[in-house]
Amino acid sequence: MANVPGLVTDPSRIKGGIVHIPSGGTKIPGYLAQPNTPGTYPGIVVIHEAFGLADHICDLARRFANIGYNALAPDLYWRDGAPKDPGDMSSVMPVMFGLKDSQAVGDLEAAADYLSGLAGATGKIGAIGFCSGGRQTLLFACWSNKVDAAVDCWGGFIDRATPDAAHTPERPTPVLNFVSQLHCPLFAVFGEEDQNPSTAQAEELKRRAEA
């Protein structure tokens, strides 16, 4: 078997299920995975890709729980609805681009608060996101002081809102413009052959973060 970090080979080591996170006057669903042994654990917000709260993201949360984290993956699409067909990018992209940056960060802060309120929580909160979730991780780390460390995995559209627009009502300001406001350490992962984000965008992100 491949060496998969955190792979859950003994399901009795963890527990997981859907919880409801108070946010913005309502409650949004999220998948919470925790170690099954009482103790003191840090928290991590696992931010889903453009496809929504898929099984893969819940599995990642379980893997984090397996190595000693309380891991919470909030459903950022719950209010407006997930893509009807996650396998069809023409269904996925409008939902992804329609999610308001301000709403996403508000829900991520609510997820961080939920984790901080769990019994045995250390109060330390990390965040990790992939693709569109990587972009939201970067945004979260720039806008909020509720995250202590962040991992941005190939978050795209950091220099503009959509392929056709630099700004939209949902994404009024490119995320790159906020990098000088980073509130925590950031580890960013990009591919040399990726086009969005490109290597030039990755270098610009690094330059601004280190300025």
The secondary structure of residue 153, as a DSSP letter, is: E
Rounded to whole angstroms, the Cα distance separating 33 from 203 reads 34
Total domains in the chain come to 1
What's CA 123's distance to the chain center, in Å?
18
Report whether pLDDT(28) > 80: yes
Mean pLDDT for the chain? Answer: 96
Look at residues 99, 102, 77, 207 and name the one whose alpha carbon lies nearest to residue 162.
99
CATH of residue 199's domain is: 3.40.50.1820
Radius of gyration of the chain (CA): 17
Domain that holds residue 194: 11-210
What was the pLDDT predicted at 17?
Answer: 98
Report whether pLDDT(77) > 60: yes
Per the listing, tokens 């997820």 go with 111
Does 5 fall in a domain? no
What was the pLDDT predicted at 6?
Answer: 86
Does 159 fall in a domain? yes
Q: Greater confidence, 5 or 200?
A: 200
Q: What is the pLDDT of residues 31-73, one digit of tens each?
A: 999 999 999 999 999 999 999 999 999 999 999 999 999 999 9
Q: What is the pLDDT of residues 98-133, one digit of tens each?
A: 999 999 999 999 999 999 999 999 999 999 999 999
| Band of pLDDT at residue 2, cut at 50, 70 and 90 | low
What was the pLDDT predicted at 48?
Answer: 98
Does 4 fall in a domain? no
55: exposed, middle or buried (Cβ count in 10 Å: 0-12, 13-18, 19+): exposed
Does 89 fall in a domain? yes
> Would you state the structure tokens that stand for residue 147, as one six-digit string?
């995250």
Number of helical (H) and strand (E) elements in the chain, helices listed first:
5, 7
Prior bond of 5 cis (ω within 30°)? no
Does 39 fall in a domain? yes
Does 94 fall in a domain? yes
Give the residue-averaged pLDDT of 137-155.
98
Does 49 fall in a domain? yes
Neighbours of 81 (CB within 10 A): 10
Query: What is the b/e burial string over 30-47, where b = at least 16 CB atoms within 10 angstroms of the residue's CB?
Result: bbbbbbeeeeebbbbbbb
Percent of the chain exceeding pLDDT 90 equals: 92
| Band of pLDDT at residue 140, cut at 50, 70 and 90 | very high
Does 3 fall in a domain? no
| Band of pLDDT at residue 4, cut at 50, 70 and 90 | confident
Report whether pLDDT(1) > 80: no
